[in-house]
């Protein structure tokens, strides 16, 4: 018999993938008739180390702030779980 937490975890992962897929699909549908400039960026966290890329300075600034917040959160979690 499987633990309810395993089933819950797998369900949340599947829901997360579905939400991500739908968000990208909606973004493409909304942007299709738009003829303006497209901008964006990405943030890849490998442990507490961020890799940031973007098409303009404003996107990169926002991602840097997000990366700093995620790094602080990761460090806090590491220190809190180190005692257990």
Q: Is pTM, for the whole model, over 0.75?
A: no
Per-residue confidence (pLDDT) for residue 21, from 0 to 100: 92
Share of the chain above pLDDT 70, in %: 94
Based on C-alpha coordinates, what's the Rg of the chain?
18
Place of tokens 């180190």: 82
**Is-contact 35 24, C-beta < 8 A?**
no
Distance CA 34, CA 19 (A): 23
Whether 77 has a pLDDT exceeding 90, the answer reads: no
Q: How far apart are the first and last CA of the chain?
A: 29
Say if residues 31 and 39 touch (Cβ distance below 8 Å).
no
- The pLDDT tens digits of the residues spanning 13-37 come to 999 999 999 998 888 888 777 677 7
Cβ partners under 8 Å of residue 58, min gap 6: 39
């Amino acid at each position: 018999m499987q633990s309810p937490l395993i089933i819950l975890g797998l369900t949340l992962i599947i829901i997360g993938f579905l939400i991500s897929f739908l968000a990208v699909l909606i973004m493409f549908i909304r942007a299709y008739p738009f003829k303006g400039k497209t901008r964006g960026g990405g943030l890849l966290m490998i442990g507490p180390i961020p890799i940031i890329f973007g098409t303009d300075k404003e996107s990169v600034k926002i991602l840097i702030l997000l990366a700093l917040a995620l790094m602080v959160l990761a460090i806090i979690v590491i220190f809190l779980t180190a005692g257990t």
